[in-house]
Amino acid sequence: MKSSTGLQLDTVSSTTPSRNSPPPPQFDTPTFLMCAPQWYDVDYVINPWMAGNLHRLNRDLAFAQWRELHRQLQLIADVRLIPAVQGSPDMVFVGHTAVVQHGVAAVSSFAHPERRVEEQPVRRWLKDHGFLLWETPRETAFEGEGDALFDANGKLLWAAHGVRTCLQCHRHLAQAWHLPVVSLHLVDPRFYHLDTCFAPLSGGHLMYFPDAFDAASRVAIENAYPEEKRIAVNEEEATAFACNVINIGETVLMHKVSSDLSRRLGRLGFDVVQIDLSEFLKGGGSAKSLVLRLSDIQLQAEIAS
């Protein structure tokens, strides 16, 4: 169906746990999962950022950058760790492995075989920690928070398709929550995941790179966010992964960008913390990709209120 704003919506029923299931975990503070870069490397090329970077990482620098992100995140949130698994060099980008809300985890079904080794250990960790698992059929590609992001109030799910995640998975994905879903079409292979070009922020703001989307998707975004709430980044900023950020209340953790973007965000009331994450850009991710949100998205907005 279509909403009053003209957005294409899929409204679905919620997931119901079995009678014998323990209650899903509940959090009273923003909580994230991270995976240390113990086995991180560029062992193959499955996105444009990896091209030219095969085995060209500085591993000591990657660990130092990851530790700094971990340290900064711990100042404003709780952080849990999942052990790295040998043979899964991209598992550090744990944000791609699932989407979590209300204790329900929609687990990824990766498009590329190279990343499917990550699915089982993440599934096991989530199950062991009490999350209800919502499985994605193997034949339907879906890549977690990489391609599915809640708005800041948790009332709408934005889901991308066109590069990695299949459009057909959006309805199945949405069946985990009783919420409308807006499908967005990605058209630039450099922005292969939604979280590389689209970042809902607290206060009803959105940071995004318009050229990553087709015309219909840009209209959908503009219908949902008024002009004064939209922060359009330019190509230089977008290719520095400016939209791949962690936002908790007024704090934004992001890779260093060589522009005035941090000042623009500051004028809107955000406290920007820039962290050098250059070694992870070589693999196609930045701050947002390096974490998986476990707590409800609303907690992050409540910090600001």
Q: Write out 123-151 in H/E/C secondary structure.
A: HHHHHHCCCEEECCCCCCCECHHHCEEEC
**What pTM does this model have?**
0.91
pLDDT of 15: 42
pLDDT of 3: 36
Domains of the chain with bracketed CATH? 31-304 (3.75.10.10)
Q: Output the six-digit token pair for 154.
A: 């948790």
**Predicted confidence band of residue 22 (pLDDT cuts 50, 70, 90):** low
Q: Distances from the Cα of 206 to the Cαs of 112, 135, 237, 259, 286, in angstroms?
A: 29, 29, 15, 18, 18
Are 77 and 85 in contact by the 8 Å Cβ rule? The answer is no
32-41, 63-72, 172-181, 285-294: the lowest-pLDDT one: 172-181
Tokens 């299949």 locate to: 166
Q: Distances from the Cα of 79 to the Cαs of 2, 24, 76, 111, 209, in angstroms?
A: 38, 18, 10, 28, 29
Burial class of 225 by CB neighbour count within 10 A (0 to 12, 13 to 18, 19+): middle
**Predicted confidence band of residue 254 (pLDDT cuts 50, 70, 90):** very high
Task: Report the SS3 class of residue 195.
Answer: helix
Question: Whole-number mean pLDDT of the chain?
Answer: 89
What's the N-to-C CA distance of the chain in angstroms?
A: 32
Does the pLDDT of residue 6 top 60, yes or no? no
104 Cβ partners below 8 Å, 6+ apart? 15, 24, 131, 132, 134, 176, 177
Name the residue type at position 49: W
pLDDT of 279: 98
User: What pLDDT, in 10s, does the model give residues 195-251?
Assistant: 999 999 999 999 999 999 999 999 999 999 999 999 999 999 999 999 999 999 999
User: What pLDDT, in 10s, does the model give residues 139-162?
Assistant: 778 889 999 999 998 989 999 998
Are 162 and 187 in contact by the 8 Å Cβ rule? The answer is yes
CA distance 153 to 2: 20
